[in-house]
Amino acid sequence: MKALSQPLFASLHGYDRAQLGPDLFSGALIALLSIPISMGYAQLAGLPPVYGLYGSLVPILLFAMLSTTREFIFGVDAAPAAMIGAVLASLGVTPGGAEAMRIVPVLTLYVALWLAVFALVHADKAVDYISEPVMGGFISGVCCEIILMQVPKLLGSATGTGELFELLGHVFDAAKVINWPTAALGFGTLAILLIAPRKWPKVPWVPVMMVAGGLLGAFAPLDDWGVALLAAVCWGFLHFLFMITQVKGMDMFPAVKDGDLAIVFRMQQEYAKNDVIAYRTDTGTKFGRIVARATDVVTIDDNGSLTVNGTTQTGEILYPTYPDEDGSLTYPYTVPENSVFVLGDYRTRATDSRLLGAVSLDQVEGKVITILRRRGL
């Protein structure tokens, strides 16, 4: 109870203000060093990289406010990240997906409860019985896993997931479709970080390269070169609630047109028929209207008629609904559990569930709440 009576920032009592400048500089360097590490740990835990940014800054500030000591080591850690990632893999949850975003906070809560129990029974003494070789092997294994996860990204593909052989498979697959600008930037950065400190050891090369990367992202046409950017970081904590993205294609014409900006609400709990949603596909983010939900029976015939559960769907859609000749669906089609059947409003030209199949709720980014119409942009 004594700790609870301490004021905020109690560790600053008697602080020598002459050290403020050097301490700020040191803190900034450490923060810049921890950010890329934290983003890697976030991906290891099955979360988008931006959550590593939040985890590397906000909890540390809170701990500094509440701590009564100036000497402490606090931050994101590889061990819990690896274990959470392993749990998601065992559950068959897609890393970075909507389901992972719902499960990880629950796991975090249970971890916190167990830590409270361990603190009460002084379980920290058990660490004395874990040998250094075991800890060294565990840490080395986590490091190898992080490296193998990031190699596909260096080559321009998505982050690798799974166990050792699955990670190696992702690396080999990425090597077949290398994005050369991405590879040049990634391996060039690694080369500079490995070689330059030997020549100029006093230069903080990690922050320098991060600033250089930020300037490239701001002023160079990296998108046109196929280099993936962490756009979600730009929106800060609003990324938890909203996504703002540019519509590509005419699937939802005339309601939504190519080049419009869509504001998507991410925290939607349930989706109803006629909701317009954004969802992920192998070719990027697409938009469509929900016409059927799980267990609904969809029928599309050659006369351009759409029937759901025996009821013909009418409304303000201007175009008839025909089956996709290239699609593999047979009608009547029952929508699987945890999925929705999505159609574009431009029924004669849209690429939607008729070709792609039902959309899993894990693929859904959220509900479109506002469209900002493009005007001569």
For the chain, the structural domain boundaries read 3-129, 180-219, 241-372
pLDDT tier at 232, thresholds 50, 70, 90: very low
Which tops the pLDDT comparison, 94 or 103? 103
**Sign (positive or negative) of CA dihedral 75, 148, 49, 161:** negative
350 vs 289: CA distance, rounded Å: 11
- Distance (Å, rounded) from C-alpha 98 to C-alpha 366? 9
CATH class of 241-372: mainly beta
Give the pLDDT mean for 244-270. 88
Q: Which of 68-72, 90-94, 261-265 has the lowest mean pLDDT?
A: 68-72
% of the chain beyond a pLDDT of 70: 93
Strand partners, 245: 262
Measured from the Cβ of residue 248, the count of other Cβ atoms closer than 10 Å reads 14
The answer to whether the Cα torsion of 319, 334, 364, 172 is positive or negative is negative
- Do residues 355 and 333 touch, judged by C-beta distance below 8 A? no
Average pLDDT, the chain: 83
Q: CA-to-CA distance for 141 and 53, rounded, in angstroms? A: 23
Q: Is the pLDDT of residue 275 over 50?
A: yes
Residue range 103-111: average pLDDT? 87
Percent of the chain with pLDDT over 90: 28
pLDDT by residue (tens digit) across 306-335? 999 999 987 778 899 999 988 889 999 999
pLDDT band at 289 (very low <50, low <70, confident <90, very high): very high
Angle, CA 35 vertex, CA 31 and CA 40 arms, to 5°: 150
Output the pLDDT for position 336: 95
* Residue 2: predicted pLDDT: 45
Residue 3 reports pLDDT greater than 60:
no
Choice among 114-128, 244-258, 287-301 with the minimum mean pLDDT: 114-128
Q: What is the pLDDT of residues 119-146, one digit of tens each?
A: 888 887 877 788 888 888 888 887 888 7
Lowest mean pLDDT among 31-35, 208-212, 261-265: 31-35
- Position 5 confidence tier, pLDDT thresholds 50, 70, 90: low
Residues constituting the chain: 377
pLDDT for 54 beyond 90: no
245 pLDDT higher than 60: yes
